[in-house]
Amino acid sequence: MAKISKITPFLIFSYLVLFPLGQIISFRFKLSNFTIPLHPADFIIFALGLSYLLNYKKNFSPPAIRIIEFLGVLTFSLVFSLTLFPLNKILIGFLYLTRLTFYFLFGLSIASYARSQEKKKFLIKSLLTISFFLGLFGLAQYLFWPDFRPFYVYGWDEHLYRLVGTFLDPSFTGLFLVFGSILSLSFWYKLKKRKYLFLFFFLTLSLILTYARACYLAYGIGLGYLMIKNKDFKLTLLTLMGFVVILTMIPFKEGEGVKLTRTKSIFFRLENYQEALVLVKKSPIFGLGYNNLCVAKEKYLNKIDLDSHACSGFDASLLLILTTGGVVGLTVFFFLVFEFWKNLGIGFESGVIKVTFISLFIHSLFVNSLFYPWVLGWIFILLGISGVLISKKNN
């Protein structure tokens, strides 16, 4: 295989450093009446993708080929959407599809870089470090800046007395805390070092303060799978009991968001699902084009809140795929997931990816988390470490 660019290690390190800063260093600009969010990490991902393309060699694994097929279907759907929308309206979708493609190239860059055990160890330990700082920053925010309602004018939800962290959203911050919990507990099972168990409980405590029920469910199912797989029923029971006890002890201050029995968000989510189904009917086979949801909502649902962070998504990632890629896109996506699961193997990294996938899938049923840029980054780092993206004949 051709040598990867000499700047690749620096770019990967820069991405890992920026990761815990989340959304707080992102910025937005206007394009064709739409607001486009950008983050310094996007430029790093783009540079890494170009670096990989400049050193390109056809060494894709069967799962990687499935991703290429999925991207091809999304590209066709976007072109097909010209029958529904004018060219200037789908430019936003083109940018989203370009970013998704470059995250795939990012995963290939990681796979090309992490060809030694030392580099794999560095990357996976970096994910642990990232999760620790996300928990630390989140707790600092919860203690010293619990009122995030002023951010509503910038398109964010109104959060009060919740751990929202550097991603400015308890659902996404909570998901990374779930990922970190999974990873730290996996290391504890492997190495039996107390520091990993302490990190697991620290991240669990931070997660509880998000009051994010989708994250609680993803945490419970993911860790339940991990503990049962390791036949550790004692720790499973103790963790679940401790989780429930802490939930009864944490302060439930003013604000709808901290009420675990809240129903307002459920009704909003049901309305959101209904809107998605309305759009699906407009183009059920090939979809409306990835990611044309803002322009589709404007045209078919008479929604003009184009500055909202929820404009380009629905509260379920599978609905986003169905709406933008149609039945064809969703079918290819399911084949993609099956291909990855079949090829992951039984090693440590593969085990971590499997339980991470399970938690992510559960979470993505309630939050559009599957295509969240930082989630893509986390997942493709794990996939790159596992080597599942590159053909074994080239390893």
Task: Give the residue-averaged pLDDT of 35-44.
Answer: 84
Residue 329 included in any domain: yes
Q: Among 209-218, 330-339, 385-394, whose mean pLDDT is lowest? A: 385-394
Contact 135, 180 (CB under 8 A): yes
Torsion of CA 34, 266, 181, 167, to 10 degrees: 30
Contact 64, 395 (CB under 8 A): no
Q: What is the DSSP track for 149-167? A: GGGGGGT----BSS--GGG
pLDDT by residue (tens digit) across 377-394? 999 999 999 989 987 665
pLDDT of residue 244: 73
Residue 73 included in any domain: yes
Residue 2 included in any domain: no
Which residues neighbour 161 within 8 Å (Cβ) at sequence distance 6 or greater?
142, 146, 147, 251, 253, 254, 255, 257, 258
pLDDT of residue 336: 94
Q: How many domains does the chain have?
A: 1
Q: Apex CA 276: angle with CA 286 and CA 170, to 5°? A: 120
- 204 is written with which tokens? 């669990």
Residue 319 phi/psi, 5° resolution?
A: -70, -35
pLDDT by residue (tens digit) across 109-146? 999 898 889 999 999 999 999 999 999 999 999 988 87
pTM: 0.90
Q: Apex CA 199: angle with CA 197 and CA 201, to 5°? A: 70
Q: How confident is the model at residue 295 (pLDDT cuts 50, 70, 90)?
A: confident
Q: How confident is the model at residue 1 (pLDDT cuts 50, 70, 90)?
A: very low
Residue 72 included in any domain: yes
Give the C-alpha separation, 370 to 320, whole Å: 10
- 296 is written with which tokens? 């589709």
Residue 87 included in any domain: yes
Helix/strand number for the chain, H first, E second? 14, 2
Residue 1 included in any domain: no
Residue 316 included in any domain: yes
Domain of residue 123, residue span: 8-394
Residue 147 included in any domain: yes
Greatest CA separation for the chain: 59
Q: How confident is the model at residue 2 (pLDDT cuts 50, 70, 90)?
A: very low
